[in-house]
Every structure is written in structure tokens, then in C-alpha cells.
Amino acid sequence: MGLALPVSPTYQASKEEYLSTKLSYLMDILREKTVNWSRKNSLWPMPFATACCGIELMATGASRYDIARFGAEVMRFSPRQCDLLICAGRVAIKTMPVLQRIYMQMSEPKWVISMGACASSGGVFDTYAVVQGVDQFLPVDVYVPGCPPRPETLLEGVMAIQRIVEKEGVRSSTERGRGMGLVIQPTIQVQVENPTAN
Amino acid sequence: MTTSPLTAEYGGATYAPVEPGGDVWVLNLGPQHPATHTTLRHVLELRGERVLSCTVHIGYLHSGFEKLGEHLNYNQYVVVTDRMNYVSPMANNIAWHHACETLFGLELTPRCKVIRTIIAELARIQDHLLCVGCAGLDLGGFTAFMYPFNARETINDLFEEICGARFTTSYTRVGGLMQDITPQWPAKVKRFCTEVMPPAIGDLEKLLTRNRIFVERTKGIGYLSHDDAINWGWTGPLARASGVRRDLRKDEPYLCYADNWDGKGSSAVQFKVPISDGGDCYARYLIRLAEMRESVKIILQLADNIPDGPVDVLPESKQTLPNKGEVYFSIEGLIHHFEQIMTNRGHQPPIGEAYGANETANGELGFYLASDGGNTPYRVRCRPPSFINYQCFPELVVGHQISDVVAVLSGMNIIAAELDR
Amino acid sequence: MLIAKFPDIDFAPHPLMTRAEKSHEQLCARVPPERLLEVMRFLRTDDRCNFEQLCDLTCIDYLNFPKARDRYGVIYSLLSITKGHRLWVKCFANDPSPQVPSVVSIWKGANWLEREVWDMFGVRFTGHPDLRRILTWEAFEAHPLRKDYPLRGRGEREDFERITRESA
């Protein structure tokens, strides 16, 4: 990225001033990069596990899939200690206020994963009691598809959050609410050799 | 709706002391709490650490399963039963179609019965492993949670091989199975029972059975007597830990638990039903371990001699879906397939009601079906073991300390989706 | 045996369902609501019956059911552990205020089951110690498992405050 200094061209800065401004600007970038990098690699998830997806979340935390490889193994059940809300499972009408309260209790910066078809869209439960997608009432960053998603898929979702954190970091309050402006591309491209052959 | 659930639920002063200056405090445990695993809520009145009274609020995962059942046909609803007890979905699939076949009056093929028995026992092992592991986790032993998950992953692999999904399986169909098992599957099951399970149970025993912290936090906690257990409607391992001699596999045998299951005079599978008169959390834990051992024995008896033949009942009865080869290459198969899946055709059950129950890992899981002759049920009622087991929870925890609430809860294995449906 | 004890009640014992070839072995008896407690107490204590456990309690809304006369059928599924037999008892109630006596005094396990039936069907159980809604919340007005309630509800699931990134 360019290091264009935020000074007007008419203003003649002294050499010392110029250097110190440049240095502090560099330090800012470096600090932001460092903070983002460390945030990204130590996400503390808050598992809001209601249903089947919660079991896959447990399996992701257990030894075979081992979410600790991505630095996100520190599950904290107090929302005030967490920065990543994983909403796993369907959310009933009675649970939605609870989920909203938990989201509001989490301290900034915070990100939300909506895990599974039920949390993202209601899934097979198109009934009177199930909220048809938590994103209607909460800001969601990453949707993880599947019913329930395999642990690999959830790990991909966590990695997507990491890419968001790395690229955007913490947005200031004026930037909030304008959407992410970022499309998460899957890291794995599936190569289909000859799509017409059966 | 004028009041939102938030105000309705939290309107009372549940966080404040009841009497200012008094020493009785009200603590709200849940709906989101690590020990509840899912969404349960208890309002505890405490004096110091002692529980004076406990009020349970449920319904935080109510998703309208029974309403949904009135709109899906007999084969489609199996997808919803997966999500009912998501710890052992295979057992739910089998229980649902057991009720359907009671309604239709179908008799399964021997091969199907054997396969269903094996997967029912695998599901039982799966459920007990998670329950015991979580009991360890809630009492502070994280290792006891990690070890059983390894064995659980192996079971998930086995299920994935036969039906393509790790644990939302939807494997059964009316009168049969979604597809036949793969040829190498029985050998894998056998290897699981001989090589994976014994060390897994052994590890658990070493970690917990004589672990002093675990024993002292579970022994004598949450006691329920034999008569109370019956009166409260307890079934399954919880009731057997209180000394109730009841196991549907023995008392109302189905599948391979019944004699002469293949029509050629084969005897039922041999197993024992573990019973304890302890009635506390520790007894429940021991019962679960013993049941896992018995399940392994049952599977080993069956895995070697799975009879040949079709897995679905004969296509002449027009009750099961034909296999795909028939659908693609013969006009009769295609017609039959469409007859089954079209919305105004499909199964034509007799008008009436039927109840079918299975012994699953949590207790008696039954389905009460009412049919008005259409291709969807008129009413689906699930008898959820968690719901009925859970209602005497206040009686179990009153008088204990607050940390024992967690121990009782993890010993009962409450699955919220089955609880609230 | 039941008929001998209560000659004045028409129990109409019948199997739960009848197929063309054979009748089903699950037996069902019909009891009017005003005699329910008396009959249930007999079934619980009599040595020939010994139904110690209330296995299940549910309800069916027979709104459009073929040949049904009454609307709500409360179904008690009784189980005897010592004898190993089952019996289904049906008790019918009708609009506008369906009422059935509560059996909590006989089987403690009926408590939540009756609350669930009240919640889902709106059948009131007289004499129940704590008849509150159990699965839905207190402010909910409808009874969702009635046949005239739509599957997707009446907009309850859309009625929340929306939290955005600014407001949180």
C-alpha cells in the first residue's frame, strides 16, 4: 500500500517533522497489521450450541478435527470474554431474545458465524416456532452451509472469519453498518475433469 | 403479539434477592450455560450454596416437530427424526419406522432386521459415549470428554459409509432401508467392536470409575427410589439405575431381540440387562458403561452372519420404494416409484391409530400415529424419553449444593431437541 | 373386568386399529371425563390391572377426522411394569372450553404432559397444580397443534427487534 502522507502540498514540513509523521504512520500500519494478525490467530469462540450443529461443534473441538490448529480452541461460555459467536443450531422464538442478549453482551470487536442450515435460513423447520434465519435479527458475517455442516466446513468458516479479520480488522464506528464489502472465496477449487461425461 | 418473549421471560426480578436483606438468593442457570449443553433454564433458589427450590423452564428449542409431522409423509418425516435426538439419530430413524410398520402391518426381511439391530446398538454406544464423556467434562475432567469422542468418530465413519452422512443419517425407509450396506461394512463393524471399543471403555473406566473426584461428586447425588422412578414415568438407563426391571428389548421384543425373527426359528440375541439399585448419578454412569459392553456383544453376535436377501420387503406389497436400477430400466419400476412419491398417492394406510416404541439410549422412544387414510399422518405424537425423565429434576436437586445440579444434569443426558421437539 | 366394575359406563373397548386380516393387539377403552379419575384410580391400584406407570399422555384434534364426533381426544397410555401389559384410555372433550380432570394426583409424571397438552391444544386440566404453558412462552395466545392453526404460524416468528451493527 502507498505511503501518501496526509499533508497538504503547500505546507512545507521540516525534515524532522516529515520523518516523525512518516514513522508514526508506519507504526500505525504495523500496529494494525500486528493486532489483526494476532486477533485472527486467537479467536475466542462463544459456542451458542442449541441443536445438532452443537454436536458437530463439539466434534470440531475434539481431537480428530482439532480446532486448536486454527487458534480457536478457547471456548468461553461467558459472552464477555469472546469475540466470535458461533450460532450452531436452530433458534426458536423463545431463544432469539437470549441470543440477541448474548450478542449485545459480547465486547467489541466481534464476529458472528451462523452455522448450519437452520441458523442461516430455518432449514427443514419451516414452522411456527423457528426463526427463519438469525440474520434477520442479528448481523452475521459468515454462513456455514450444511445440515449439519461437517467439521471441515466449520473450519472453513472459521478460516473465512480469519480472512475477514486480516483484511478489514476492526472497523471504526463510522464505517459500521455499511456491510462487509468483501466476498469470501473458497480456498479449495474443485476441479471437474469432464463435466459432460457421466 | 404485544409482549415480546424477552419481557415475558425476564420480566420478573429473577436476578435480585427475593427479600431485601434476606439470605435467599435466586440464581438463573441457563438458558445458555456450559453445563446445560443446549438450552435449558433453571431458576434456583439458594441459601448459601444449598438449593432450596428449583423451577425448570423448557421450550427454548421448541421447533414444532409434531406439527411438521402432519405435513410430511411417512418417508419424509425420517429426516426430522434425525434432528430429534441428535446424539443417536439412527435409533430415532428406527423407532419412527418401527411405528410406521406397526401402522401398516409390515414384517421386515431378515437382512433388514439384522442391519437395523446392529445400527441401533451402534447408536446406543454412540449416545452413551457422549453422555459419559460429558459427565466427565462437566465435573472438570476434559480428558474424559476427548477419549470417547475418538470412538464416536469411528461410529460416525461407519454410518457415513452406509448412508453418506456423518450423523444426520435418515437411513431407514418404510419397510426397509435407504440402501443396502457395503460388502466390507460388517468386517469394519467387527473391527470396531474388537479393536476400538474395548480400549475406549477401558480408558473411560481408568479415567472415571475410581477417580476420587468423580466418585465423590456423583455418589449419592440425585437419588430417586424405585417406586418414584416408576411413578414419574422414568424409562431406560435412568430407571434401571433405580432398580426398575424394564427393557423393551426384553419385554416387548422387536427386530432381532425377538425369538424366531427370521421365520426359521433363530433365537433372539443374547444379552443381559444391567440393573442397579443405587439410584444416584454414579449408578447411572455404571449402567451406561455396562450397557455399552452388552451392545458390543450383541453386535458381535450379528455381524458375522448377516443373512442374504433383499433389505426391503417384497415389492409386490407396493409399500417400499423400488431400487434405483429398477426405476431407471423398467417401466414398472418407474410407475411404482412415482406411485410412491407423488403427493396424492404414496402409502395408503388403514384408518386408525397405532403406537410403536423402541428402547433407545435414553429410554422408551415411542411414536403414536393417527392416520386418516391419507398419505401423511393425521397426528404424530412422539413420546420423548428426555421430556418425561426430566420433569422430576427439581426433586433430584433440592437439598444438594449448586455444583451438584450440574452433576445431576449431566448424568441424566437431557437432549434439548428431544425435550422440546 | 373394567366393565364388571363400572357397569354404568359404556367403555366401548376396541383395538386401536383394525386391519382387514387381523385386529391389532393394542387395546383402547373410552371413558367419559366425569368418571375418569375414578376409573384411573381403579386401574392404578387393582391387582389385576396394576398400571403403575403413565407412559404417555397426548391429545388428538379430531377436527376433520373421518367419522369423528368429538373434537379433542385426550389419550392416556398406561403401562404395567409388573404385568407387562398396556392399555390406552381415551377421554373426549369439546369446544368451547374443553376440560378434563387432571391425573397428577395418581401419577406424578402427568404434570408436564398435561401442561404440554394445555399448551398445544388448549385442553384445560381441572385440578392441575401448576397449569402454565411449557413449550411456548406465556404471552403466546394460540394453541399450535390444533388443526386450524397454520403450520407457519401467524407471524410470531418475525416479531423481534432487529439488532444491527450500529445498535449493538
ipTM: 0.84
Q: Are residues B155 and B42 in the same domain?
A: no
> Which residues of A are less than 8 Å from C136 in CB distance?
93-94, 129
Asked whether residue B271 falls in the same domain as residue B383, the answer is yes
Put simply, whether A125 touches B (Cβ < 8 Å) is yes
Count how many Cα atoms sit within 13 Å of the Cα of residue C153 in the half-sphere of its side chain. Answer: 22
Same domain, yes or no, for B222 and B121? Answer: yes
The predicted structure's pLDDT at residue B125:
92
Q: Contact C118/C110 with Cβ under 8 angstroms?
A: no
B contacts of C152 (beta carbons < 8 Å):
none
Tell me which residue in A64, A93, A98 faces B153 most closely, judged by beta carbons: A64
Task: Identify the chains in contact with B, defined as 3+ C-beta pairs within 8 A.
Answer: A, C
In the three-class reduction of DSSP (H, G, I as helix; E, B as strand; rest coil), residue B140 is classed as: coil
> CB distance C163–A138 less than 8 Å?
yes
Provide the CA B168 distance to its chain's centre, in angstroms.
13
Q: What amino acid occupies position C29?
A: A
Cis peptide before A148 (omega within 30 of 0): yes
Half-sphere exposure of A75 (CA within 13 A, CB side): 17
Reading chain A (198 residues) residue by residue, the pLDDT tens digits are: 445 555 555 666 778 888 888 888 888 888 878 888 888 888 888 888 888 888 888 888 888 888 888 888 888 888 888 888 888 888 888 888 888 888 888 887 888 888 888 888 888 888 888 888 888 888 888 888 888 888 888 888 888 888 888 877 655 444 444 444 444 455 555 565 655 544
> Are B251 and B335 found together in one domain?
yes
Q: How far apart are CA B337 and CA B369, in angstroms?
A: 24
Query: Where does residue B181 fall: left (phi above 0), alpha (psi -120 to 50 degrees), or beta otherwise?
Result: beta
- Same domain for B244 and B388, yes or no, is yes
Asked if residue B412 and residue B305 are part of one domain, the reply reads yes
For B281-294, the DSSP string reads HHHHHHHHHHHHHH
Could you tell me the sign of the dihedral formed by the alpha carbons of B39, B41, B47, B51, in that order?
negative
Rounded to the nearest angstrom, the minimum Cα separation between C43 and chain B is: 14
Question: What would you report as the CA-atom Rg of chain A, rounded to the nearest whole angstrom?
Answer: 21
Pairing of strands A84-88, A111-115: parallel
The nearest CA of chain B is from the CA of A56 a distance in Å of 9
What range defines the domain where residue B29 resides?
Answer: 5-57
Query: Is C100 in a helix, a strand, or coil?
Result: strand
Please give the span between the terminal C-alpha atoms of chain A, in angstroms, as a whole number: 48
Are residue B78 and residue B48 in the same domain, yes or no? no
DSSP annotation of B346 reads S
- Does this model's pTM top 0.90? My answer is no
How far apart are the C-alpha atoms of B396 and B389, rounded to whole Å? 11
How far apart are alpha carbons B318 and B300 in whole angstroms?
Answer: 34
Instruction: Tell me what pLDDT residue B317 has.
Output: 57
* Domains in chain C: ranges and CATH: 27-148 (3.30.460.80)
How far is Cα of residue A176 from the mean position of the Cα atoms in its chain? Answer: 15
Domain tally, chain B = 2
How far apart, in whole angstroms, are the C-alpha atoms of residue B379 and residue C61?
8
* Residue from the list B33, B60, B83 with its beta carbon closest to the beta carbon of A52: B83
* Minimal C-alpha gap between A32 and chain B (Å): 34
Contact present, B34 and C164 (Cβ < 8 Å): no
> Is the CB of residue A122 less than 8 Å away from at least one CB of chain B?
no
Whether residue C33 has pLDDT greater than 50: yes
How many Cβ pairs within 8 Å bridge chains A and B?
103
> Could you say which of B13, B28, B57 is where a domain stops?
B57
Per-residue model confidence as pLDDT tens digits over A167-193: 776 554 444 444 444 444 555 555 656
Q: How many CB atoms lie within 10 A of CB A168?
A: 15
Task: Report the largest interatomic distance among the alpha carbons of chain C, rounded to a whole angstrom.
Answer: 73
Cell 439391530, located at residue = B117
CB contact set of C37 (below 8 Å; sequence gap of 6+): C101, C103, C105, C106
What are the cell numbers at B340? 410412491
N residues, chain B: 421
Do B38 and B138 lie in a common domain?
A: no
Same domain membership, residue B219 and residue B302: yes
| CB contact (8 A) between residue A52 and residue B168 | yes
Task: Work out the minimum CA distance from B110 to partner chain C, whole angstroms.
Answer: 22
The answer to whether the beta carbons of residues B330 and C37 sit under 8 Å apart is: no
Cα B171 to chain centroid distance, Å, stands at: 15
DSSP-derived secondary structure letter, A92? B
Does any CB of chain C come closer than 8 Å to the CB of residue A127? Answer: yes
Residuewise pLDDT in 10s, chain B (421 residues): 233 333 334 333 344 444 545 677 888 887 777 666 777 888 888 888 888 888 888 888 888 888 888 888 888 888 888 888 888 888 899 999 888 888 887 788 888 888 999 999 999 999 999 888 888 888 887 888 888 888 888 998 899 888 888 888 888 888 888 888 888 899 999 999 998 889 989 888 888 888 888 888 888 888 888 888 888 888 889 889 988 888 888 888 888 888 887 777 778 888 888 998 888 889 999 999 999 999 999 999 888 888 887 777 755 556 666 767 677 777 777 777 766 666 666 667 777 888 888 888 888 888 988 888 777 888 888 888 888 888 888 888 888 888 888 888 888 888 888 888 7
Contact A128 C168 (CB under 8 A): no
C168 vs A103: CB contact, 8 Å cut-off? yes
A51, A94, A101: residue with CB nearest B59:
A94
Q: Are B320 and B175 in contact (CB under 8 A)?
A: yes
Mention the CATH class of domain A43-168.
alpha beta
Is B236 in the same domain as B218? yes
Residues B357, B275, single domain; the answer is: yes
3-state secondary structure B214-259: HHHHHCCCCCCCHHHHHHCCCCHHHHHHCCCCCCHHHHCCCHHHCC
**Mean confidence (pLDDT) of chain A:** 78
Task: Confirm or reject contact between A176 and chain C (CB < 8 A).
Answer: yes
Question: Nearest Cβ partner of C163 from A104, A132, A176?
Answer: A104
Burial code (b: 16+ CB inside 10 Å, e: under 16) for B162-194 equals bbebbbbbbbbbbbbbbebbeeebbebbeebbe
C122-162 tens-digit pLDDT: 888 888 888 888 888 777 778 888 888 888 877 777 777 77
CB atoms B6 and A97 under 8 Å: yes
The chains in contact with chain A, meaning 3 or more Cβ pairs closer than 8 Å, are B, C
Q: What are the angstrom distances between the C-alpha of B108 and each of A39, B92, B269, B351?
A: 57, 17, 17, 22
Q: How many contacts does B have with C, using Cβ atoms within 8 A?
A: 126
- C103, C76 contact by CB (below 8 A): yes
Cβ distance A136 to C158 less than 8 Å, yes or no, reads yes
Q: Which of 42-71 (C) contact B at CB < 8 A?
A: 52-56, 58, 60-61, 64-66
Domain boundaries, chain A: 43-168
Are both B94 and B177 inside the same structural domain? Answer: yes
